Structures are given as C-alpha cells and as structure tokens.
Structure 1
C-alpha cells in the first residue's frame, strides 16, 4: 500500500479541520498539527507508509501522530502479530498483538489497537510509538515518545525514563503503579492509578513511598532507589511485585548521628581532646552505650576514633609482618551511610581500617601479648558493632560487590590494584580470573592475593562498592 502525495495531503486538510477534543489536545502536546509539516516530509509523489513515518522521526509527536490519523482514513486495515523486537519502522494498518514481551527500537505506528501480553519497552529517541486505538500491556517502560489516542491500560506498572520525550494519552490511563520519574507524562482523559509517583520525585522519596506497596526486594531506602529492572522482570514472569496490604511507610535514617545517639555524650570534651583539629559537626558516628565517637571531614582529613576512653593511634604503631597472611578478617558496613570498618588479625596484632566508601580511610594497629588475646579483641569488636553495622563478605547488601583497592606510593609513580570476589571467582584489576569450587575458597585466595600485594609494598587504600569501584561497576 502506497501513499499518494496529492491524495494524502488533501485528506490531511479535511482531517485537520475536524480534529477536536482530547484527540486534538493530545496531538498538539508538542505543537499544533500542521499539513505543511507533513508536506515537507513527503519526499516522493508515492511513499510507503513506513517511509513517511521514518522521515518524521525522531521528532515531536504532533506530525507523526497527525500522519497516523490521516493514514487510518486511507489504508485498508490489516492485523499483524509482533514478536520480540521491532527493529525497523513499521505501520500496522489494523490491530497488532504480541504474545510475549515487546521491545520497540524503531518507529512503530498502529492504526488500530495494540495488545502486548507482557512488558512493552521502547527505546527513545529512536522508537516513537503511536497507537490510535487502545493500548494494553502488563508493564510499560518508556524512554521515547509514546502517543495513545485511545485508552492506555497497563496491568501493573508504567515507568517513565529520561526527560527528553513524552508519554501522551488522549483517552483514559489505567495502571496500578505509575512512576513518572523525570519523564513528561500527560493524560487528557482520566487517570486511574493506585500509586502515582509524580515527575520530579527524588530517589529517596520514591523508595520511601514505594515501601508502602512494593515488595521489599524492589526498593532500597538507604540508596534511595527503586529496582525497576527487577520490577519489570518479575512482571514479565508473572511473579508478585505488590504487597498484599499497604505497609507502614519506611523513611531513611539520617547518615549523621541522631540527637538520641548523641544524648549523654560529652561531644565538646571529646572534640577538645582530639589529636587533630576537629569540630562537633565532624561527628559521623556515635555509640552512646560505649561512648565511642568517630570524627572526620570527608575528603579533607582521615578518621579519628575515640573508643570511649582514648583516641586510637596516639601510641606508636606496632610493626606488621607483611609476609604473613591475615589470620582472620571481619568487614562491617554501616547500616545507614557509607562508613565501613574492616578488622584484620595477624597473630597477636589487630589492624583496623575505618573510612568512607570511595573516600578517606585511616588504619590503626593494636598489639597484644598473645594471639588468643588478639582473637578475643576481634570477637569483642564484632559484638561492639553488630547493632549498628552489617557484616559483609563479598558484597554490601543492596549496593554491590565489595572491592578492595590497594596502593603503592613507594616508587616514582603511584601504583594501584584491586580485587573482588564474584560468587566463586576472584577477579583482579590485572585481568586475572580464578574460579573455585565455593565462595570460601575464593575468599581464601583473596587473602593470598592480599598477602602477595603487601609483600610488594601495597597497602589498603579504600573499600568501595558498586557503582564506584572499577571492578564492581562492570
């Protein structure tokens, strides 16, 4: 079926004269529909419908939507079945149906209804989608221009992605969960939603609001994130994503110590005793039951730790035999914020690394008379931080792989290296990948790798988690 220029533009004039109501409002969202715009893209006297649509895209919705309305009056309806991915510009003159998920990577115009028995995903800006009839799907992830002149009915969730394109509906919009994020969403009919996160919501607000109706695996209060990819994977698999009943709203606790945590602590007195210049506003962690206080200014000076009686690190640091492997290691991550504490025992020496994810860090060493005494100290520290910190091995829960970065500043040029454990594989920045039978063996290999790097003059520089770590962000 070809479009004849003279006939098409003549019909466009007639269609334009009778456009009104919600249809005209939706078509005008990106500007008034103009016949001249269609004429300027009619490059040959006869064109395939898909060629005209391709010529109008990418671009505003008004001309491509207008062209689709004109096509509906000229082209005989013919239904189509869509499968998997739309990778080339297509015009379906009748109804279109997909029996599974549908990914749209090129312009798609449906002059009738579009039914997707799965998740519908577009890929803006290359994937302009226009549906003149009713559009239904289980889920919709849209980053491109998406126009529906009938009703849009999405069973579970709609996610807007990026702020360059628009989702425009002339009819009614119905879905259980609409997350506009920073996407332009406009409905000229009635919007029926149970849960609606409006354009401009912050990540922290989104996670907090979602905690009332989405399953806990789909949001992270500490990171201020919704796990949209997991959400739509579950929708596609038919797995539950919503809680059976509304839950109490969760809010992110502040990174800084609360007034309750500071109650009874002589912060002014502790700050005055600090071996380095410090202020009360520099308190990043406080434990009322032990009197412990951590002081730091991220990116400016290293951590100062008052353990309730004294500041650590004021006595001479005991020597460490870098040839030996750590006898045991315990890594903690603060349940809120990005503070970490890693404790290593080397025989009768306990070494503590305290700092921020991707930030400043300080190392302290404590010597004991026997290895047993050092082991008891490590157990005491485990108990001391169990309430406020989470113990981690290969990853920080909800955040990503735990990456250790080491530095060697002894040469003319600083050297860096790092390693992570992915499941049962040890991965290093040098490109090494060692596969083991279980995670414990991989962690044992990590200890050997750390010992070899210490012997080469490297020391721990920082602990990081995805997305900051060079390995973890892959």
Structure 2
C-alpha cells in the first residue's frame, strides 16, 4: 500500500486470554450442537510468538481454515478493546504486505489484496475489491461495501457484503459472509457460505463453469457485450462471459449492465 499500515501494541497475554475465552465458547457451542469442537485451530495459532498484529495476520497464509477465520477479528477486537479508529486511504491501493487495522477502513479507490488483510471493523472500498489467492486472505469483522468484489482466495466477512457484482473463482478457497447483496453473484467453482440476495445468482450447481443450462443467455440479457469474449475451448469461436473482461471494464469505470435492466436489490 502507498501508506503504512496502522500499528497497534501487541499484548500476547491479552491475545491468549481472549483466545481462551473464544475457544471455551466455541467448545460449549459445539458440545451443545453435538458437533466436533474445532477451537483447537485458534488455540494453536496463538501459541506462536507474534510481535505484532501484522505478524498474526501474516500467519493466516498458512492457517486459513474457513472455521478459523471468523475468530480472527473477534480475537483482535477483544484483545485491543475499545481502541479502534476510522481510517481512510486515498486513491487506489495495492496490498503486497500483511495489513492490519483495528476499526473501520475506507479505501477511496480500488483495493487489490495480495497478502493477508485483517480489519476488525467495516471495510468500504469506493472502487473494486480484488484478492489474489493463495497469497491473500481477507478477514473483516464488519461489513464490506464495494462497487465489485472479485475473489479467488479465502475471504471471510462477518457482516454483509454489498456490491454491484460479487464473483468467486477457483475451487481451493471459500467466500464467507452473513449476507451478500448484489445485482450479480457468480460462484465459479468457488465455495460460498452466505445468504444471497441478488438480481441474478448462479451457485456452483447452476453455473457449471459457465456451461450450465441458460447461463450465458441470462448473463447476455444483463451485461453489456464487451464482457463476452471468444472461448478457446469452443470450436466455433463462440463468445462466453469473461470475468476478467468484466473486472477490467469495472476498473475503467465503464458501465457493465445493460441500460434497460433492473438495478436489483442494492
């Protein structure tokens, strides 16, 4: 990023106390539900001798199990207490190093995440939020608001995601949120754990890598022609929806929805 990540004093004892409380709560909930207790992942994580919250965030590159990630912003917020701040970063931001912020974070342009990012509050991106798995891990304690969300890594949002487009790609990672509200949501071989409210939503079974029944026709009715490109796997050069073309067009600030379409639930 063009600006240095905000630092917070790291108190290992406070972190471990907070982790113990969270683990005890998870263990009790799992026992009541009759399901295996997975709190050991958090207990193992905090045994490490971290020197900062950025170091803790960096460890998520190797400890990013979907069951662990929701505990991370809760852990950090509990250890730090009521010391969070609101921070705004101007312009487009490229995150190449681990980044931690306690509180709400606003990015006035696009945010490209290529490393672990932990925000204990909400994340507002005026442009596009795009990650880069497996190097990236995005964990947000509040909600996420952006023009578009493009993920092929692990992304865990404890609140809601609100965007025009939410696109998940690649099958090794997971998108988690309480709720996703968007005009278009596509799960392209990418596990999504959330309630989805969308004008058009293709889940894993519907989408079938773009070859599902009626997928291209329904996308054609919603999106401009520029986001469809020739598919090299099609002998006749048939044009198919291209999420990279959609991303590029949105980055350029160009419209992607046909003018005569319903703006949907946002």
Shorter-chain TM band: 0.7 to 0.9
| Aligned counterpart, 1:42 | 47
Residue aligned with 1:174, SS: strand
CA contact (8 A) 1:38 1:63 kept: no
Shift, 1:97, TM fit: 0.9
Aligned counterpart for 1:100 among listed residues 90, 109, 128:
109
Q: Confirm or deny that 1:116 pairs with 2:120.
A: no
CA distance in structure 2 between the partners assigned to 1:104 and 1:40 by the alignment:
22
Aligned counterpart for 2:180 among listed residues 173, 177, 182:
173
Q: Confirm or deny that 1:237 pairs with 2:237.
A: no
CA distance in structure 1 between the partners assigned to 2:155 and 2:146 by the alignment:
14
Q: Where do 5+ consecutive residues of structure 1 fail to align?
A: 26-30, 248-474
CA contact (8 A) 1:9 1:39 kept: no
| Aligned counterpart, 2:56 | 52
The structure number with the bigger radius of gyration is 1
Shift, 1:78, TM fit: 2.6
What TM-score do you get using the length of structure 1 for normalisation?
0.46
Deviations 1:373-429 (A, max 9, x none): xxxxxxxxxxxxxxxxxxxxxxxxxxxxxxxxxxxxxxxxxxxxxxxxxxxxxxxxx
What TM-score do you get using the length of structure 2 for normalisation?
0.78
Deviations 1:421-457 (A, max 9, x none): xxxxxxxxxxxxxxxxxxxxxxxxxxxxxxxxxxxxx
CA contact (8 A) 1:207 1:220 kept: no
| Aligned counterpart, 1:461 | none
Q: Say how many residue pairs are matched.
A: 234
C-alpha spacing 1:11/1:41, structure 2 compared with 1 (3 Å)? closer
| Aligned counterpart, 1:79 | 86
| Aligned counterpart, 1:142 | 151
Shift, 1:186, TM fit: 1.1
C-alpha spacing 1:135/1:225, structure 2 compared with 1 (3 Å)? same
Shift, 1:17, TM fit: 4.0
CA distance in structure 2 between the partners assigned to 1:52 and 1:68 by the alignment:
11
Shift, 1:54, TM fit: 1.4
Deviations 1:284-340 (A, max 9, x none): xxxxxxxxxxxxxxxxxxxxxxxxxxxxxxxxxxxxxxxxxxxxxxxxxxxxxxxxx
RMSD: 2.6
Shift, 1:244, TM fit: 2.9
C-alpha spacing 1:134/1:163, structure 2 compared with 1 (3 Å)? same
CA distance in structure 2 between the partners assigned to 1:173 and 1:32 by the alignment:
27
Q: Where do 5+ consecutive residues of structure 2 fail to align?
A: 1-7, 31-35, 231-236
Instruction: Compare relative contact order (CA 8 Å, sep 6+) and give the higher one, 1 or 2.
Output: 2
Deviations 1:30-87 (A, max 9, x none): x95515643455322x521111221232331333431321111122213333442011
Residue aligned with 2:222, SS: coil
Residue aligned with 2:146, SS: strand
Shift, 1:239, TM fit: 2.1
Residue aligned with 1:180, SS: strand
CA distance in structure 2 between the partners assigned to 1:120 and 1:32 by the alignment:
33
Residue aligned with 1:61, SS: coil
Aligned counterpart for 1:159 among listed residues 145, 162, 167:
167
CA distance in structure 2 between the partners assigned to 1:204 and 1:11 by the alignment:
47
Q: Confirm or deny that 1:6 pairs with 2:13.
A: yes
Deviations 1:227-285 (A, max 9, x none): 222222322333221123359xxxxxxxxxxxxxxxxxxxxxxxxxxxxxxxxxxxxxx
CA contact (8 A) 1:42 1:52 kept: no
Residue aligned with 2:188, SS: coil
